[in-house]
Chain A
Amino acid sequence: GEDVEQSLFLSVREGDSSVINCTYTDSSSTYLYWYKQEPGAGLQLLTYIFSNMDMKQDQRLTVLLNKKDKHLSLRIADTQTGDSAIYFCAAAYSGGGADGLTFGKGTHLIIQP
């Protein structure tokens, strides 16, 4: 089955850019998502990218997709203390909702003052 991998921790200084990386194994994944989870809270959808796209930008967020390497990244520009959270990468096979999502274990983003 699908496997999604992420590094567990990322530490950045406030104001710098954060780049969170994710790899997946199933090349038929059609949608790839980034969710944010703050302590004790549910998951907040940040952005998603369809597999026929290379890049998607939304304000401070930039998603890059390298289909050949099955690599997805999330760049957060001008990282703020409020960005401190766990970021989950998730992959879907078709239509985004036809199957359950496969999640990585999450990357803890730590902001240094």
Chain B
Amino acid sequence: NAGVMQNPRHLVRRRGQEARLRCSPMKGHSHVYWYRQLPEEGLKFMVYLQKENIIDESGMPKERFSAEFPKEGPSILRIQQVVRGDSAAYFCASSRGDGADTQYFGPGTRLTVL
């Protein structure tokens, strides 16, 4: 049973470009979460999605950031017009959405903005 998959693992963008980060949840999981980790910091919650629905985006910056989890395909975190401050590791987690509902994390995408 494959774990949470994220790609790319490393992404380099110049200021002003767009970054697209992909996350495929574990098999049988219908809930996806995105977190951002700045250097020497813990993870900060950004957004929580179920298929075709954003449940909680309270941690997401209001501008330039968007997330989706379509009926088919991976969840996408999109950052438009990236700035140097967007450089971070972005982690995706998934859960079944029931009971103890533990979140399992992917390996992360490390975004570097030049």
Distance in angstroms between the alpha carbons of A9 and B1 in the assembled complex: 35
A97–B42 touching, CB < 8 Å: no
B107–A48 touching, CB < 8 Å: no
Number of A-B contacts (CB under 8 A): 76
**Which of the four size classes fits the interface of chain A?**
20 to 34
Distance in angstroms between the alpha carbons of A48 and B42 in the assembled complex: 18
A42–B31 touching, CB < 8 Å: no
Q: Which of A10-18, A59-67, A103-111 contacts B (4 or more CB under 8 A)?
A: A103-111
B107 cross-chain contacts in A, Cβ below 8 A? 41-42
B104–A45 touching, CB < 8 Å: yes
B59–A96 touching, CB < 8 Å: no
> Which residue of chain A has the shortest Cβ distance to B110 in the bound complex?
A40
B99 cross-chain contacts in A, Cβ below 8 A? 95
Q: Number of B interface residues at 8 Å Cβ cutoff, please give it.
A: 33
B106–A42 touching, CB < 8 Å: yes
- A48, A100, A101, A104 pick with most chain B CB within 10 angstroms: A100
B42–A96 touching, CB < 8 Å: no
Interface residues of A (CB under 8 A from B): 4, 31, 33, 35, 41-45, 48, 50, 88, 90, 95-106
Given A43-B43, A100-B35, 18 other A-B contacts at CB below 8 A? A33-B102, A41-B108, A42-B6, A42-B91, A45-B103, A96-B101, A96-B102, A96-B103, A97-B33, A97-B101, A97-B103, A99-B48, A100-B33, A100-B59, A101-B43, A101-B45, A101-B103, A103-B44
